[in-house]
Structure 1
């Protein structure tokens, strides 16, 4: 159940981040409200993951890495943002670091 809640926290954060892009500096009401609700929802769900006993380093690491990866890929594929090979390699390193946290927590 913890990983399902964590997936919800990641999705909520990604939605909030995408809405921030369309909020025009928080001058457009609907995207601004979605952005705030997305971030608040993400933190609420993350708090529930922690309540269930997942370590904060593992939970936050997975949440942050998955969110950064998702936003970078969505930005590059759908929004015309650049994603260089160096940036892609950085994402791979972040994911590797999170995997190390997860595998280390299992011992």
Structure 2
């Protein structure tokens, strides 16, 4: 659960920094939040990896949700366009993230099952391990 909260922090920090970058074009004081936001995003992402989440899952979710949230919030805050095709793209991104996460969970379950099977074979009395 901790890794997911840290990942949420990374996403929020990155989206905040990206939106602040747009705001800084008109008001340069926002550049301070850009720097802090990106530094925080990478700090959170490193903590996510240290907590044990795989790189492919963490980076995929971070990048995909960052793109989707930035596009939606830029439309709401800055009046940038959000066309039906763009919304379809956001749905495809979300679907891709779900596929990566589900695939990761299946791979983790298969790895745990293989480790359990291997430890059961190692713990069997001699001659019952199935080895010839």
| TM-score normalised by L of structure 2 | 0.76
Show the counterpart of 1:14.
Answer: 15
Structure 1 unaligned spans of 5+: none
How far, CA to CA, are the matches of 2:33 and 2:39 in structure 1? 10
Aligned residues, how many?
Answer: 105
Shift, 1:69, TM fit: 1.1
Which structure's CA Rg is the greater one?
Answer: 2
Q: Does 1:58 align with 2:66?
A: no
TM-score, length basis structure 1: 0.93
Structure 1 outlier segments of 4+, above 6 Å: none
1:42 maps to: 41
Unmatched tracts of structure 2, length 5 or more: 107-132
Number of the residue aligned with 1:85? 84
Matched with 1:2 is: 3
Higher relative contact order (CA 8 A, sep 6+): 1
SS at match of 1:36: helix
User: By how many angstroms is 1:78 displaced?
Assistant: 2.4
Partner Cα distance (1:22, 1:84) in 2: 22
Higher alpha-carbon deviation: 70-79 or 36-45: 70-79
The alignment's C-alpha RMSD in Å is 1.3
